[in-house]
Structure 1
Amino acid sequence: MLLKLAILISGRGSNMRAILRAIKKQNIPIVPTVVISNKPSARGLRIARGLDVKTEIVESKGFQGSRWEYDQKIIGVLNKYGVMPKNSLICLAGFMRILSPEFIKKFKNRILNIHPSILPAFPGLDAQRQAIESGVSHSGCTVHFVDEGVDTGQIIVQETVKIKNDDTEETLSKRILAKEHKAYVKAVKLIAEKKINVTGRKVKFLA
């Protein structure tokens, strides 16, 4: 049975677009089922529709409840499309909300995120600026499972980028983003083809 893919976005959706295009082009065995945004104005919604993927909005602006109460609305949409913990993969692609522990536990090892550094270095916000200010020679990006920590889930794929002497946060971010598109697609493909096994903190690759 093919996994059902849901992607959560808040903005432009460039990683989402890279994933959806690759699924079609490379025939990755996964079903792009729904793209959900917490912002009605997210540009990625239009891109998803153009790629024949259903979209839903679960607006977060003005929501007064807890994170779990909001996430239950997301789960309601996922259920509507048959996206369940045992048959799903959820990709966070610029989703500007912190998921509740309850949601993460429900979809354990089913949620992916991408971070613009070589984790465990420079977790959290402004990772590109952190890398430049630290003086390291390389940075990059990491696709990882989502757990209850901040960028602490098991690492699946990493791509590196050399930091140039004249790099700014903007120029480095642009080069890392190009690597993000490659890394995220690779991670989705590995999971869709059932080529990884998670044991504790380690992700093992299967032949």
Structure 2
Amino acid sequence: MKSKNIRLAFYVTGSALRLLKLLKRNSVVIKDTVLVVNDDIPDVRLNALLSKNDIPYIEVNYRDLGLISDQKNIFISNLLLEKFNEYDIDYCFCFGGRILKGNLLRVYKNRIINFHPSILPSFPGIKSIDQALHKTSFLLGNTAHFIDEGIDTGPVIMQSILHRKKYATYESILGLQIPMIEQIYRWIIDNRLITINNSVDIKGADYTQTIFYPKLEVK
């Protein structure tokens, strides 16, 4: 199967340590990344890495712009649409903190992928790890899904799951997103990620495994 050439963007908020770790370890992803947009205080190490690899980088400071509340959502959505068109973006991986909306979601339907730190549909929205811990959830994890008009309601692509006993810090959960990104990106460039009737199917993927917590001891 012939792989596609992909032009990839990232929308992040803050230090973006997951993106920094990903780009440091994955040469394919960094080669195909053509735009990074950050709408919070950046990490100087990320700035240096992007500059070294000639990746365009846009910072947004809402305070300087005098924007509040939903104005931020509208501004970043319009900016992303403008820049995605300018840079001819195929897909965007999203770790951003704003709610995307408007024409961006229509023009780039099923091409903006969010990585949310809960096993959706449980605990959508902000502070999802804290929500799960507060509810003493048996299982924790992440969901990769396409962004739609709702809050973490788009078609699910992939999930990662760990038992609460394996939780130590936020990184116990967030760190699992890096191999998820790498796997999903491989599916994209191999043209295996298919969306039909608001449902995602990965051509040739194995959906048959069943996991028990605790592990079964009987035969």
Tell me which interval the TM-score lies in, with the shorter structure as reference length.
0.7 to 0.9
Corresponding residue number in structure 1 for 2:188: 191
Which residue identity is paired with 2:94?
L
How big is the alpha-carbon RMSD for the aligned residues of Structure 1 and Structure 2? 2.5
Q: Distance in 2 between matches of 1:49 and 1:197?
A: 34
Corresponding residue number in structure 2 for 1:73: 79
Q: Within 5 Å, which residues of 2 pair with 1:75-94?
A: 75-83=81-89, 88-93=90-95
- CA shift at 1:76, angstroms? 2.6
Unaligned runs of 5+ in 2: 205-219
Corresponding residue number in structure 1 for 2:10: 7
Corresponding residue number in structure 2 for 1:60: 62
Whether 2:116 is the aligned partner of 1:115: answer yes
Q: Deviations over 1:160-196 (max 9, x none)?
A: 111129x6xxx34120012111212212221222112
Q: Distance in 2 between matches of 1:69 and 1:174?
A: 30
Which residue identity is paired with 1:119?
L
Q: Deviations over 1:12-44 (max 9, x none)?
A: 2122224434541xx4697211111123x3113
**Equivalent residues of 1:35, 1:45 under 8 A apart:** no
Distance 1:124 1:72, change over 3 A: closer
- Say which structure is richer in strand: 1
Q: Which residue of 6, 17, 20 maps to 1:17?
A: 20
Of structures 1 and 2, the larger Rg is shown by 2
Corresponding residue number in structure 2 for 1:102: 103
Corresponding residue number in structure 1 for 2:47: 45
Q: Distance in 2 between matches of 1:120 and 1:69?
A: 27
Q: Distance in 1 between matches of 2:99 and 2:25?
A: 27
Q: Distance in 2 between matches of 1:173 and 1:102?
A: 33
Q: Deviations over 1:129-179 (max 9, x none)?
A: 2212223221111111111111111111111111129x6xxx341200121
Q: Within 5 Å, which residues of 2 pair with 1:104-143?
A: 104-143=105-144
TM-score normalised according to structure 1 size: 0.82
Aligned residues: 195
Q: Distance in 1 between matches of 2:155 and 2:31?
A: 21
TM-score normalised according to structure 2 size: 0.78
Q: Distance in 2 between matches of 1:200 and 1:46?
A: 42
Q: Deviations over 1:95-148 (max 9, x none)?
A: 121112321111100001111111111111221122122232211111111111
**Equivalent residues of 1:60, 1:70 under 8 A apart:** no
Corresponding residue number in structure 2 for 1:153: 154
Q: Within 5 Å, which residues of 2 pair with 1:169-188?
A: 171-188=168-185
Q: Distance in 2 between matches of 1:28 and 1:38?
A: 21
Q: Deviations over 1:51-84 (max 9, x none)?
A: 442212243333445744543233333333232x
Unaligned runs of 5+ in 1: none
Q: Distance in 2 between matches of 1:29 and 1:197?
A: 24
**Equivalent residues of 2:80, 2:104 under 8 A apart:** no
The SS at the match of 1:197 is strand
Distance 1:130 1:50, change over 3 A: same
Distance 1:185 1:63, change over 3 A: farther
Which residue identity is paired with 2:55?
V
